[in-house]
Structure 1
Amino acid sequence: MAGNLLSIGKSGLFAAQAGLSTTGHNIANASVAGYSRQVVVQSSGIAQDFGYGFVGSGTQIADIKRYSDQFLNTQVRNAQASLSATDAYNSQISQIDNLLADTSAGLSPALKNFFAGIQDLAANPSSTAARQAVLSNAESLASRFQSLDGRLQEIRDGVNSQITTKVTLINSYASQIAELNEQIGKFTLSNGSAKPNDLMDARDQLVLELNKEVKANVTPGANNSLTVSIGVGMPLVVGSKPFELAVATSPTDLSRVQIGYMTGSKITVLSDSSLPGGALGGILEFRNNTLDRAQNSLGRIAIGIAETFNAQHALGQDSKAEMGGKFFSIGEAVVGASLTNTPVANPATAPSVKASVVDSTKLTNSDYKVEYRSGSYWVSTTSGGTPVQINPFPQTEPQVIDGIAFDIENAATEGDYFVVRPTIGGAANFNVVVKDIARIAAGAPVVTNTPLDNKGSAKISEGSISSEYLGGAPALPLTLTFDEASGELQGFPAGATVYVSSNGGAPQPFVVGTDPILYKAGDNYNIGGVNVSFSGKPAEGDKFTISANPNGASDNRNAQALGKLQTKNILDGGRATYQSAYAELVSFIGNKTREVQVNSEAGKALLGQVTASQQEVSGVNLDEEATNLLKYQQAYQAAGKVMQIASTLFDTLLSLR
C-alpha cells in the first residue's frame, strides 16, 4: 500500500512539475508575437480493483493544450490583410494628393499665369515684353506639366520596385510555412496525438505576416499541416511544397511590372485584380484605380490645351504677316501589341493598330483594348466598357471612338490584342514649339472696312476666320455691295457657296449666282472660312470690303480669341474648362485619399477589436499565470508530502519483526 501511495505522490509531483514548467513557459513568452497560451491537461491514472473497491493510481498528463481559435485567427488575418491594403494605398495616394493640391507647385498657378500673359498680349499686341511674357509663361506651363508627370512616373517606378520586393517576401514566407508544415508533420507522426505547439504558433504568425503582404486563405490539412492559397484559389503552400510568385513585365508595356504565377518553369501573368488584400493588393489597386487615371487625366488636359490652343493659334496671323502654326507639341498615343500575340512570318500581313487623337474634347481618362475576335476588331476600355466593333473591316478610313482615330490593318489571330493609351504621354510631351516672339499669332489674317462715304448706317464686323480658311481661303480683297431693290449683298465670288446662319442656328448654304444672298443685320456670313456680320441699315450702293491684314503686329483679335479659351467649356464633351478639368482631377484624388484614410481608420479599429477577441482566448494573462504558479507550487508541495508520508509508512513496515 505504501508503494502505491509513493507512486501516486510521484505522479502528482510530475504533474505539478509539468504545470510549473508550462506556466513558466507562458510567462516567458507572454511578449512573443503569435504565442498562444498553453495549459496542462491532466487525467486520472488507471484505478485498481482491490475487491472492496477501486483505488486510484494517481494522475497522468493527457495533453499540453494550446489555446488557439481558428475562427478568430481567420478574422484577425482578414482584418490585417484589409488594413495593410488600405495603408499601402494611403501611403501612395497621399503623395499624389500633396502633389496636385499644392497651391504653388500644382498646375493651376502655371495655367493662370499663362492665360494672364495672353490677356496682356491682347491688351498690347505690339509689345515685345508682352510677347516675351507669353513665351516665358508657356515654357513654365510646359515645365509644370512635365514636372508633374515626372513625379507621377517616379511614383510608378516606386510601385514597380515595391511589387518586386513584396513578391520576394511572399515567396520567403511560403518557403518558411512549408518548412514548418514538414517539421510539424514529423513531430505529429512521431508523438502520436501530441502537437508541437510552439512550431504551430510560429507558423500561424508567419501566415499572419503573409496576410500583411497579400490576402491568404488557410485550410487545415493532414498531420496538422496548413494549405495556404491566395487570390482566386491559387495554392501558395500545400503540405511541405511551396509555390512561387514571380515578377513579370506587362505583355503590352515593358515598363510595367506585373505579378506572375510559377507553374514549373512557366510563368502565367496574373491580372492585377486577382490578388486583392494585403500591401501588394493595395499597391496594385492604387496603380489601376488612381495612378493610371491621374497620369491619363493630366495627359488629357495637356493634349486638350495643346490641340485647342493650336487650332485657334493656327487661325491667327503673326508679326511677319504669316499664318500661325503649332504653338504646343501634342503627345502621341502609345500603342502596345501583346507579347502573347501569334507571330506572323510575313511582316507585310502582320496586324497593325495605329491610334491618334483627333478630337481632344471627347477624350476620356481610359486606356483601350483592341481585340481581334470573330473575324473583326473590337475596341473597349480596359476597365471593361461595352466593346465597339470596327466596322467596316477592312477599313476605308480610320474609325473615331471617343475622339481617337483607330487605323487598323490586316486580320489577326483569334484573341490577339493591343492596348492603346491615348493620353499617357500627353503631359510628358507637352512642349512649346514657338521660339520666336514674332511667330506668336496675335492678329487675324483678314480686315474689314466700312467706307465713310456709305449713305446707310450699316457697318461690317471686324471679321474672323474659321478652320475652313486654312483649306481654301477666298481671293481677297472682296468688295460687297448692297442692292436695295433686291435686298441682296452682291460681290461674292461667282459659284462660291456662302453659309448664312441666323440667331446662332445651323449655317444654311447659298450658291452665289443661283441663290439670293439677302442682307440681314445680325446674320453671320461665311465665305471660304471668312466670317462677317452686319449691323444697322444699308442704303443703295453701300459697299463693304474684306481684305488681307497688312499688319498683324498690332492686331489683337486672335489674342482675344486665345484668351477666351481659358473660360470656354471645351473638355469632357464641352462641359469643362481647362481649369475645371484639372479641378476635377484634384477633387477625385482628394476624395479618394479621404476615403482611403477613413477606411484605414476603420480597419485599425476592426483589427483592434478582433485581435482583442483573439487574445482573450490565446493571449497570456500574467495575473492568471501568477495564480497558476501558486496553485502548482502548492500541488507540488502536497505531492511531496504524500511521498514523504509514503516513505514514513514504508520505513514503519520495514521496522516490524
Structure 2
Amino acid sequence: MSSSLYSIGLSGLQSSTARISTTGQNTANVDTEGYSRQSTSTVSVSGGGVRIQDTERVVNQYINQQLWSDTSTYNYYESYHSMMSSFDAIFGEESVSISTYVDNAFSALQTANSDPTDSAARSNAYANLDELVAQYNELADYISTQKNLANEEINDSIDTINNLTSQISDLNSQIYKLESSTGSTANELRDTQEQLVKELSEYLDVKVKYDDNDLMTVNLASGQPLVLQGSSNELRLSSDSSNPDNELSISLDFGKYDVGVTSEDLGGSVGGLISFRNEFVTSAERMLGQQALVLADTMNTQNQLGLDADGGYGINLFSTGAINVTPNANNSDSDLTISAQVTSGSSGDVTTDTYEVVMTSATAFKVVTYDVSGNITGESDNVDITGNTGQPYEVEGLGVSITLDPASSYASGDKFQFIPTKNAASTLDLSARSGDDLALAAPIAVSSSSSNLSDVEIAISSITNTDPSSSAFAQSGGLYPSAPQTLNFTASDEMEVLDANGNVLATVTGITDYSNLLEQAGLADDAGFDISLDGTPTAGDTFSMSFNDSGEADNYNGLLLANLQNASTVGGTQTYSEAFTSLVTEVGSLTASLSTNADSSEVIMNRSEAARDEISAVSLDEEAVNLLRYQQSYTASAQILTAAQSTFATLISALG
C-alpha cells in the first residue's frame, strides 16, 4: 500500500511541478508578442498516480487563419489609401489645379482679342499658355514620381517577404528536428513561426496548412506555395516590356521555372501598392494625358485656320511627344514596326484605352481597344490599305492614324500596342515662339459692294482649311485666282460665284437660306471657307471675298480660339476644366472609399485579434487562480508522501 502511496504522491508532485512551471512560463510571457499560452495535460495511470502527457499551446488555427486574412485585407486598403491620400492632397489643391491655369490662359487670350495689335497682351497670353503647359508637365511628373515611389516600396516589400518565408521554412526544419528527437512539442518555435506568418500577412494574403508531419505550408491565396517543409520559393518582381504601360508583375521562382502571380490574388500591402501603381496611376496618367492631347490638337487645329501677327498662316501652338508603339513578342518578325499618330482635329475621338493593331493580312489590319482592366471596349472595321503603305491611314471613330512600314513584311496575327494618351501630359510643349504666333485674325476679308441696293451684310460662317495644297489659300499668302472671290446676285434667290478673273464657277438658283452659300454652290470644301448673308439680297447685289492682307486688328479666329475653353472637346463630352474636375473627383471618391474600407477592415481585424487573444493570450487573473490550484495540489501530494512514509514506518515498527 505504502509503495502505491509513494507512487501516487510522487507523480502528483511531478504533475503539480510541471503545471506550476507552465503557469510560470505563461506569466513570464504575458507581454510577449505572438506568444500562445500553454497548458500541461495529464492522464491517470492504471494502478494509481498520474502521468504528464504533454505541454501544448492553446490555439485555434481557424481563428488564426481568419486573423491573418483580416490583417491582409486591412493592409491592402491601408497601403492603397496611404498612397491615394497624397494624390488627393495634391490634386485637390486649387493652386495646382489645371482648371485654374486654363482660366488664366483663356482670360489672357480674351484680353489679347480685345486688341490684337497689342504685343504686350499677346506676350501675356503666351506666358499664361506656357504656365499651363508647365502645370501639365508638373502634374505628370508628380504621377511618375508616385509610380516610382510605389515601385520602391514594392521592391522593399518583396525582399521582406522572401526573408520571412525563408525564416518560416527554416523553422519547419528546426521544429521537425526537435520534435522528432525529443517527442515533445516545439511550442516556442511554433509561436515564432505563427508570428512570422502574421507579419507576412501584412504584405500578402496567405493560406496556412499543416502536412502529415504537422509542419507548416504557406500558400498564396491563388494556391501557389511559398513554403513547403524546409524550403521556400522566392517572389520575383518584373516589368512587362511587351506592355505599353510597363506594368509590374510578380512571379514565383521555382528554380527551373517561374510562375506568374495575378495581382488580384495578392492582397496585403503589396496588393494595395500594385493596384495603386498598375490601376489608379495608369488611369490618372491616361486621363491627364487625354486632356493635354485634346488641348494641343484643338488649339493647334484652330490656330492653323487664322493669320498671326505677321499676316502668316497660323502654326501649331503646342506639340506632344511621339506615340510609343510596342510590338508583340510573338510577331512573325521581331523587327516589325508601325507608327501611330493622333489624326489632326480628331482628338475628341481618342480614348484613354490601350489600342492594339492586329494584322489580318500583309496589308490589312483592325484596331481593338482595351480599358485599363484589359476588357475589350471596341473594335474597328477591317482596314485594307493595299498600295497605300507608308502613308497614314485614319481609323474612323478612334482619332488615330496608322502608318505601315513599306519595307516590312507583315503576317496575319502580328500585333502592336500603343496608348495615345500615356505620355501626352509629360511631353506637352509650347511650340509657338512668342505671342505673335497666336493666329487671331481670319485669313479672309469679306465686304458688301457700296453700290448694293440692299443693306444685307456678308459674314464669314466658317474657315475649315488653309492648307495651300487642298484649299483656296496660296502658299505665299492670298487666294488662288481660281478661288471663289465674288458673289453676284442676278435675282434675290439666284447667284453666280465668280473667280478673280470673272469666270463663273457655279450658279445657284432657288435660294431660300442665305447661310453657307459656298456649300450650296458645292465649292466650300475646295475653298476651305464659307460665308453667309444676314438677309435677302436684291438683284444686282455683289459681295466680295479676299485674302485678309490688313487684318492686324481682326480677332475672328482669336474668338474661336477663346471659345474652345467652353467647348465639349475632351472625349466629345467635357471641356478642358470639366475633364480635370472629373479626374479630381475620381481621386477624391477613390480616396474616400479606401478610407472607409480601411477603417471597417481595421475594426474586423481588431475583432479577430481579440478572438485570438481570448483563446491564446495569457490572462494573469486566470494564471493566478491556476497557480493557487497547483500549489494546493503540490501540497496535497506532499502530504500523501508524508502519509506514505508514516505508514511505512508504522509497518516496520510492527514487524520489529
**Structure 2 length normalisation: TM-score?**
0.89
Alignment match of 2:350 (pick from 360, 363, 372): 363
Which secondary structure state, in structure 1, belongs to the residue aligned with residue 213 of structure 2?
A: helix
Equivalent AA in structure 2 for residue 550 of structure 1? D
CA RMSD of superposed structures (Å): 2.7
How far apart are the structure 2 equivalents of 1:26 and 1:343? 68
Shift of 1:649: 2.7
Q: Quick check: 642-651 or 177-186, which moved more?
A: 642-651
Q: Quick check: 520-529 or 197-206, which moved more?
A: 520-529
**1:175 equivalent in alignment to 2:142:** no
Shift of 1:644: 2.2
Shift of 1:440: 1.6
Query: 2:336 maps to what in 1?
Result: 351
The 5-angstrom pairing of residues 10-89 of structure 1 reads 10-47=10-47, 56=48, 58-89=49-80
Query: 2:493 maps to what in 1?
Result: 487
Query: 1:520 maps to what in 2?
Result: 513
Contact (CA 8 Å) 1:399, 1:407: kept in 2 or not?
no
Shift of 1:537: 2.8
Deviations 1:73-95 (A, max 9, x none): 11111111111110111011112
**1:234 equivalent in alignment to 2:224:** yes
Equivalent AA in structure 2 for residue 362 of structure 1? D
Contact (CA 8 Å) 1:457, 1:537: kept in 2 or not?
no
Query: 1:50 maps to what in 2?
Result: none
Query: 2:476 maps to what in 1?
Result: none
Shift of 1:424: 1.1
**1:117 equivalent in alignment to 2:123:** no
The 1:109/1:398 distance shift into structure 2, 3 A limit, reads: closer
Query: 2:542 maps to what in 1?
Result: 543
Which secondary structure state, in structure 1, belongs to the residue aligned with residue 154 of structure 2?
A: helix
Deviations 1:360-396 (A, max 9, x none): 1012222234567999766331522156367246765
Deviations 1:171-229 (A, max 9, x none): 1111111111112222332344x421221121111112111111112222121112211
How far apart are the structure 1 equivalents of 2:510 and 2:471? 21
Query: 2:455 maps to what in 1?
Result: 457
**1:164 equivalent in alignment to 2:155:** yes
Query: 2:475 maps to what in 1?
Result: none
**1:381 equivalent in alignment to 2:378:** no
Query: 1:623 maps to what in 2?
Result: 621
Alignment match of 1:405 (pick from 387, 396, 401): 401
Which secondary structure state, in structure 2, belongs to the residue aligned with residue 452 of structure 1?
A: coil
Which secondary structure state, in structure 2, belongs to the residue aligned with residue 217 of structure 1?
A: strand
Contact (CA 8 Å) 2:495, 2:507: kept in 1 or not?
no
Query: 1:598 maps to what in 2?
Result: 596
Query: 2:298 maps to what in 1?
Result: 308
How far apart are the structure 2 equivalents of 1:558 and 1:118? 11
Contact (CA 8 Å) 1:100, 1:107: kept in 2 or not?
no
The 1:472/1:583 distance shift into structure 2, 3 A limit, reads: same
How far apart are the structure 1 equivalents of 2:448 and 2:412? 67
How far apart are the structure 2 equivalents of 1:414 and 1:650? 103
Contact (CA 8 Å) 2:36, 2:616: kept in 1 or not?
yes
Alignment match of 1:187 (pick from 167, 178, 188): 178
Which secondary structure state, in structure 2, belongs to the residue aligned with residue 104 of structure 1?
A: helix
Q: Quick check: 279-288 or 353-362, which moved more?
A: 353-362
The 1:495/1:37 distance shift into structure 2, 3 A limit, reads: farther
The 1:400/1:543 distance shift into structure 2, 3 A limit, reads: closer
The 5-angstrom pairing of residues 225-374 of structure 1 reads 225-252=215-242, 257-273=248-264, 275-338=265-328, 340-341=329-330, 344=333, 350-358=335-343, 359-370=346-357
Shift of 1:416: 6.4
Shift of 1:462: 4.4
Structure 1 residue runs without a partner (length 5+): 48-55, 498-510
How far apart are the structure 1 equivalents of 2:209 and 2:100? 56
The 1:109/1:235 distance shift into structure 2, 3 A limit, reads: same
Query: 1:447 maps to what in 2?
Result: 445
How far apart are the structure 1 equivalents of 2:154 and 2:234? 14
Which secondary structure state, in structure 2, belongs to the residue aligned with residue 553 of structure 1?
A: coil
Deviations 1:152-176 (A, max 9, x none): 1001111111121111111111111
Shift of 1:477: 7.8
Shift of 1:337: 2.9
How far apart are the structure 1 equivalents of 2:459 and 2:43? 109
How far apart are the structure 2 equivalents of 1:419 and 1:535? 51
Equivalent AA in structure 2 for residue 488 of structure 1? E
Equivalent AA in structure 2 for residue 478 of structure 1? Q
Deviations 1:318-345 (A, max 9, x none): 111101000011233222235x43684x
Contact (CA 8 Å) 1:10, 1:639: kept in 2 or not?
yes
How far apart are the structure 1 equivalents of 2:380 and 2:15? 79
Equivalent AA in structure 1 for residue 9 of structure 2? G
How far apart are the structure 2 equivalents of 1:282 and 1:546? 64
How far apart are the structure 1 equivalents of 2:490 and 2:137? 58
Q: Quick check: 574-583 or 465-474, which moved more?
A: 465-474
How far apart are the structure 2 equivalents of 1:398 and 1:309? 20
Equivalent AA in structure 2 for residue 121 of structure 1? A
How far apart are the structure 2 equivalents of 1:450 and 1:461? 9
Equivalent AA in structure 2 for residue 148 of structure 1? L
Shift of 1:400: 4.6
Structure 2 residue runs without a partner (length 5+): 473-478
Query: 1:96 maps to what in 2?
Result: 87
Aligned residues: 626
Which secondary structure state, in structure 2, belongs to the residue aligned with residue 213 of structure 1?
A: coil
Equivalent AA in structure 2 for residue 341 of structure 1? N
The 1:374/1:77 distance shift into structure 2, 3 A limit, reads: farther
Contact (CA 8 Å) 1:86, 1:599: kept in 2 or not?
yes
The 5-angstrom pairing of residues 424-435 of structure 1 reads 424-435=422-433
Contact (CA 8 Å) 1:189, 1:223: kept in 2 or not?
no
Which secondary structure state, in structure 1, belongs to the residue aligned with residue 426 of structure 2?
A: coil
The 1:408/1:386 distance shift into structure 2, 3 A limit, reads: farther
Query: 1:53 maps to what in 2?
Result: none
Query: 1:575 maps to what in 2?
Result: 573
How far apart are the structure 2 equivalents of 1:370 and 1:287? 25
Shift of 1:487: 2.5
How far apart are the structure 1 equivalents of 2:151 and 2:73? 21
How far apart are the structure 2 equivalents of 1:352 and 1:9? 91
How far apart are the structure 2 equivalents of 1:377 and 1:60? 80
Contact (CA 8 Å) 1:477, 1:548: kept in 2 or not?
no
The 1:417/1:26 distance shift into structure 2, 3 A limit, reads: farther
Which secondary structure state, in structure 2, belongs to the residue aligned with residue 356 of structure 1?
A: strand
Shift of 1:615: 1.7
